[in-house]
């Protein structure tokens, strides 16, 4: 029996070593995935994720602010968007509607009811409008959007 006790102890130790190795491999796999994902995301140059504004004739139109008359903040956001559609069309929307809804740019959010229910879209649109009013360039606006919403 004494011999079988050693065998169990040895097997338990071997089993623990095997389990430990499995956890190490799993942890390294997760770490590798995170590192590769971060590298792919940050491999782009600054502002590369922002779209190129379309020609004016290709821009979708902004939904009229009057549609949201009962919602002053929303109406104001759509009013501002209507004043700067070309600039909105060159800005990536951080609510990730490009990936989730197929939007081309922030302008697409205001070409439907999407922005009316999205604080990120309305906030980005407000920043774009205010910066255009101050004479900021598209790249400066994009950089501010990235700083604010996290590129």
For the chain (length 151 residues), average pLDDT per consecutive 10?
52 73 61 46 58 88 96 97 96 82 86 93 96 97 93 54
Provide the pLDDT for residue 41. Answer: 41
**92: CB partners within 8 A, 6+ apart:** 49, 50, 51, 98, 105, 106, 142, 145
Provide the pLDDT for residue 46. Answer: 53
Q: Measured between alpha carbons, how far is 109 from 121 in angstroms, rounded to an integer?
A: 7
pTM for this entry: 0.67
Provide the pLDDT for residue 6. Answer: 52
In the chain, where are the structural domains located? 1-43, 56-149
Look up residue 149 and give its two tokens: 């919403």
């Amino acid at each position: 029996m004494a011999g079988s006790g050693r065998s169990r102890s040895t097997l338990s130790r071997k089993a623990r070593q095997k389990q430990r190795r499995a956890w190490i491999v799993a942890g390294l796999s997760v770490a590798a995935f995170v590192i590769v994902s971060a590298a792919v995301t940050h491999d782009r140059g600054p502002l590369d994720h922002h779209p190129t504004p379309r020609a004016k004739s290709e821009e979708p139109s902004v939904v009229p602010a009057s549609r949201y008359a009962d919602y002053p903040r929303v109406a104001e956001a759509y009013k501002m968007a209507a004043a700067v559609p070309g600039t909105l069309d060159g800005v990536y929307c951080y609510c990730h509607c490009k990936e989730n809804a197929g939007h081309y740019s922030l302008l697409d959010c205001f070409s439907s009811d999407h922005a009316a229910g999205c604080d990120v879209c309305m906030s980005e649109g407000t920043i774009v409008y205010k910066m255009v009013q101050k004479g900021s360039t598209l790249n400066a606006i994009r950089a501010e959007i990235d700083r604010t919403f996290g590129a």
